[in-house]
Every structure is written in C-alpha cells, then in structure tokens.
Structure 1
Amino acid sequence: MRAIQITEFGGPEVLKISDVADPVAGAGQVLITVDRAGINYADTHQVENSYLSKTELPLVPGGEVVGRTEDGRRVVALVGSGGYAEKAVAHAPYAFDVPEGVSDGDALALVLQGTTAWHLLKTSTHLQPGESVLVHAGAGGVGSLAVQLAKLWGAGRVIATASSEEKRKQVLELGADAAIDGEPEGLKDRILEANGGKPVDIVLEMVGGPTFDESFAALARFGRLVTFGAASRQSAAAIDPTRLMKGSKTIAGFWLADCFANPTLLGDPLAELFDLTASGKLRPIVGGEYALSEVATAHEDMRARRTVGKLVLDPTR
C-alpha cells in the first residue's frame, strides 16, 4: 500500500511516499481502510524526534484516521502511528463510531483536538461560569474548538490570540469577545487591555517561551494556566514558587496521551462533542485537505502558521 514512511529524522523534506506492506490486525485490533487521516502539529515534532515520547525508525507518522472497518463500521480511531497510509490498525477500544451528521473532517477535528479542548477547560482548569479565558492560537485546531466550548460553557469573556488580521477575524466569528496579536512583545499589556484592564482567570497556552512568560504575568488571583504544547520550540523562564503563592496561581500541564490508558477519558468527551456538532452548536473548522503526496507542504504550512483549524490528508491521492 502507499504510505508516508520516514527513515531519517528531520523536517518536512523527509516525508516521502513509499510502498509498504499492509498492516495486519492482531488480537483486539481492527483494520481500517483510511478515507482521511488527521495532520497534527505534534506530527512535526515526531518527524524531527523532538516529541515528548521518543520515536523509532522507520516510521509511518499519523495518529488518527477516519474510515471503514472490515465489517463496515464508520469509525474515527487513534492509531498512535501509521495514519499517513491507505490502511491502518487501531486497538478496538480506540475506534469510535462516527454518527450521522458528523463529517470525516469533523470527526478528525474532534478526536484529538476536540477532546484536548474539552479536558483543558473541564479537567485542567475547571472553567466556572463568568470566568475570563485566554485561548492562544485561537484559529488553530484546538483553539478554534476551545473558543466555542468556553462560550457554550458560560465563560464571561473569551480572548483569543492569532497571528494575522484574517485569523483574528475568524476567531471573532467563532464567538471570541476579543482577538489580539499573539506576538510575545507587549503581549501581557494586550491581554489586560482586551479584558477591560483586568488579568484573566484561565489561559490555554501551547506556544511556550516568552509567550508563556507574558501569559503567566497576565494571570489573575486564583488563575489557572495550562500548558499543552511548545510550538515556538523555546523554553519559558523558570517560575519561582513564590510567584505561584502570591496570587494563589496554578500552572498545570496537559498531554492527551495521559488519557490513553482509559478509553472512557476519550470516548465520553468525544460523545458529547459529537452531539454538539450534530446539533449545530459546535462547528469544527477543517482548514485544508492535502493529498498524500502533498504532506510535506502540509507540514511546511502548519509550521509557518499559514493554516487554520484541522488539516486532513487524503491517502487516495
């Protein structure tokens, strides 16, 4: 079958089509004919071997697919790796039936980015009605869903960062109350201004480096900042514990992989997200579809922040 297999670590240039053997489902697994595969920012880290978990070669990247099982079920599945291919194998508990009213792109947007946004707001920061929420990269896969969910769940004010005027317009259309430039210089002041001069209660942060530092400086008393990525590939400054004590602030970390040991931590949020999508209350954003042969371009576009929403891969092209 056709697949993207890497035999060396590096940037987008190492992503090339290969002819590899079809995967075989073992005990407790299902074989899926892939209609679409999801592309994630984490894939760019995996390909260069800078992800939280180390990667072994050769590797077919891609952590999620939507397609048909051998018995005809339409499922979206987490596969760990192997998604950039015409066929993939998933452990049965991580293959979730996709209901009518939820498109392939919707399902891929929700299975990782959607469940991440759900846990960031409910599990990590315990959003309460009326609280202010800052969402970094509000036009991205997680951010575009987090903006909508925060509003649905009663946030008092939602502020989103985005890297261009067009993206800032898009996050306002999704329901954000304010959209600001996410560049680190002067970010704290822009956050405070967008929140009426007050610090924010919750920050969803996935950039790292000085963006993390500026965001923490804008955090209110009893505020919670959750970090779930390092897109800048920069380290933040060390936080003196006394800075947490003064203001009773919380810094949390979130990595969706820590939910994988218990499928209900994915299945239950996903069922809620499917219902919200099918009813029209939640609108996943599918920002682009690429042929298998264009996957390097997809990674380049993502790393250059030229994309919005969820990116998907068509393995038939």
Structure 2
Amino acid sequence: MRAIQITEFGGPEVLGLADVPEPEAGPGEVPVEVSRAGVNYADTHQAENSYLSQTRLPLVPGSEIAGRTPDGRRVVAMVNGGGYAERAVADANLVFDVPDGVDDVAALALVVQGATAWVLLRKNVRLEPGESVVVHAAAGGVGSLAVQLAKAFGAGRVIATASSAEKRDLTLELGADAAVDSTTPDMTAALTEANNGRRVDAVLDMTGGRVTDESVRALAPFGRLAFYGMAGREAPKPIQLPNLMRHSTAVSGMWLPHAFLLPGGVVHAAMAEMFDLVAKGELRAVTGGEYALADARAAHEDLRSRRTTGKLVLDPTR
C-alpha cells in the first residue's frame, strides 16, 4: 500500500512516498480504510525525533485518521503512528463513531486538536465562568477550537494571539474578544492591555521561549498557564517555584496521551460534547488545507512556516 515513510530523521525533506506492507490488526484493534489523515504540529517534531516520546525508524507518521471499518462504520481514530497511509489499524478504545453532519475534516480536528483544547480548558486551567483566557496561536488547529470552546464554557473575555492581521481577523470571527500580534515585543503588556488593564486568569500556550516567559508574568493572582507545546523550538526559562508562590500562580503541562489514561473516559466525554456542539452549529473546525498523500512534505513545510490556519489533512486516495 502507499504510505509516507521516514527512514532518517530531519525536516520535511525526510517525508517520502513508499510502498509498504499493509498493517495487520491484532487483538483489540480495528482496521480502517483511511479517507483522510490529520497533520499535527507534533508530527513535525516526530520527523526530527524531538518529540516527547522517542521513535524508531523506519516510521510511517500520523496519529489520527478518518475512514471506514470493514463493517462500514464511519469513524475517526487515534493511532500509534501509521496514519499517513491508505490503511491503518487503531486500538478499539480510541475509535469514535462519527455522527451524521460531521465531515472528515471536522472529525479529525476534534480527535486531537479539539480534545487537546477541551482538556486544557477543563482539566489544566479549569476555566471558571467569567474568567479571562489567552489563547496563543489562536488561528491554528488547537487555538481556533480553543477560542470557541472557551466562549462556550463561559469565559468572560477571550484574548487571541496570532502572527498576521488575517489570522487575527479569523480569531475575532470565531468569537475572540481581542486579538494581539504574537510578535509584539512585550507580551506581558500587550495581554494586560487587551484585558482592559487587568492581568489574565488563564493562558493556553504552545509557543515557548519569550512568549511563555512573558505570559507567566501576565498572570493575575491564582492565574494558570497550561503549556502543551514548543512551536517556536525555543525553551522558556526555568520556572522559579518561589515566584509561583509569591504571585499565587500555577504552571502546568499537558500531553494528550495522558488524557486517555484518566478514569471516567475523559476523551470520550470530550468527543461527545464537541460532536454535540458541532451538530448545534456552536463549534466549527477551520479547514486549513488538503494535500495529496504524496505532498506530505509540503504540508509540513507550510505548517512549520506558520503559513496555515486551522486543520491540515492528507488525502490518501490522491
């Protein structure tokens, strides 16, 4: 079958089209004929072996797929690699039936980016009604959904950051109350100004470096920052614990695979709530672009250069 295979670590140039054996479903696994495969920022880290979990070569990347099972069910699923291919297998516990009215792109956006935004808001920062929340990279896959979910969860003021006027306009269209240029030289001051002169209650951050450092300084007493990525590929300064105590603030990290280990079916609850919001027209996935399977390299190049908004997908039928 056709798949994207990585045989050496590096940038987008290591993504090559190959003919590989079809995966075989083992006990507790479900085979899926892939109609669309999602592209995530984490995939770019996996390609260069800078992700949280180390990977072995050769590798077929991709952690999310939409398609059909042999019995005809239309599903979206998390996979442990192998998503950039015509066929894949998924753990039965990580397969979700897609309801009518939700297309493949929306389903793919929800299973990783949507679940990430949901967990960040519900579990990490534990957003309370009326609180202010900052969403960095708010025009991206996670950010565009986090803006909408924050409003749906009762945020008092949602402040989005993005790198271009076009992206900032998109975040306002999605419901943000204010939009800040992510390249501003003083993020602390910019976020405080955008919150009508008050420090902010919650921050969702996947940028790293200076943006993270200055966002921590923008937190109000009992404010919370949730860190879930480092798109800027620059580590923030180490957090000084006495400073957290001095300002009554909290910083947490989040890696989505851990959410699947939580008791009570947290991710299943997240998917059910988000599917319902989509059905009611209160949540929409922003389509960022569709690429042929052979153009996976271009998808990664566009993602890393921040030329994209919303959800990127590969079409294995092309």
- Which bracket does the TM-score occupy, shorter chain normalised? over 0.9
Which SS does the other structure have where 2:247 is aligned? coil
Give CA deviations for 1:58-116 in whole Å, capped at 9, x if unaligned.
00000000000011110001012000000000011111100001110000000001011
Which SS does the other structure have where 2:282 is aligned? coil
Letter in 2 for 1:195: N
Greater than 2 Å deviation, 4+ residue runs = 260-263
- Report the equivalent of 2:118: 118
Which SS does the other structure have where 1:17 is aligned? strand
Whether 1:246 and 2:246 are equivalent positions in the alignment is: yes
Which SS does the other structure have where 2:159 is aligned? strand
- Report the equivalent of 1:311: 312
Matches within 5 A, 1:186-201: 186-201=186-201
Letter in 1 for 2:317: T
TM-score norm. by structure 2 comes to 0.98
Gaps of 5+ in 2: none
- Report the equivalent of 2:128: 128
C-alpha contact (below 8 Å) 2:184/2:190 kept by paired residues: no
- Report the equivalent of 2:14: 14
Letter in 2 for 1:314: D
Matches within 5 A, 1:169-208: 169-183=169-183, 185-208=185-208
Paired residue total:
317
- Report the equivalent of 2:270: 269
C-alpha distance 220-262 of structure 1, shift in aligned 2 (>3 A): closer
C-alpha contact (below 8 Å) 1:136/1:143 kept by paired residues: yes
C-alpha contact (below 8 Å) 2:139/2:309 kept by paired residues: yes
C-alpha contact (below 8 Å) 2:65/2:79 kept by paired residues: yes
Report the alpha carbon displacement of residue 304 of structure 1 after superposing the two structures with TM: 0.3
Structure 2: distance between partners of 1:268 and 1:131: 23
Report the alpha carbon displacement of residue 184 of structure 1 after superposing the two structures with TM: 5.6
Letter in 2 for 1:84: Y
Structure 2: distance between partners of 1:115 and 1:235: 24
Whether 1:287 and 2:298 are equivalent positions in the alignment is: no
TM-score norm. by structure 1 comes to 0.98
- Report the equivalent of 2:163: 163
Report the alpha carbon displacement of residue 279 of structure 1 after superposing the two structures with TM: 1.2
Gaps of 5+ in 1: none
Report the alpha carbon displacement of residue 261 of structure 1 after superposing the two structures with TM: 2.8
Letter in 1 for 2:100: E
Letter in 2 for 1:34: V
Give CA deviations for 1:227-281 in whole Å, capped at 9, x if unaligned.
0001111111122212101121000111101123358221111011001001111
Give CA deviations for 1:31-76 in whole Å, capped at 9, x if unaligned.
1000000000000000000000000000000000000001111000
Give CA deviations for 1:103-137 in whole Å, capped at 9, x if unaligned.
10000000001011011011111101110000000
C-alpha contact (below 8 Å) 1:184/1:211 kept by paired residues: no
Which SS does the other structure have where 2:89 is aligned? strand
Structure 1: distance between partners of 2:262 and 2:86: 28
Which SS does the other structure have where 2:51 is aligned? coil
Which SS does the other structure have where 1:246 is aligned? helix
C-alpha contact (below 8 Å) 1:184/1:210 kept by paired residues: no
Q: Which deviates more, 125-134 or 233-242?
A: 233-242
Letter in 2 for 1:33: E
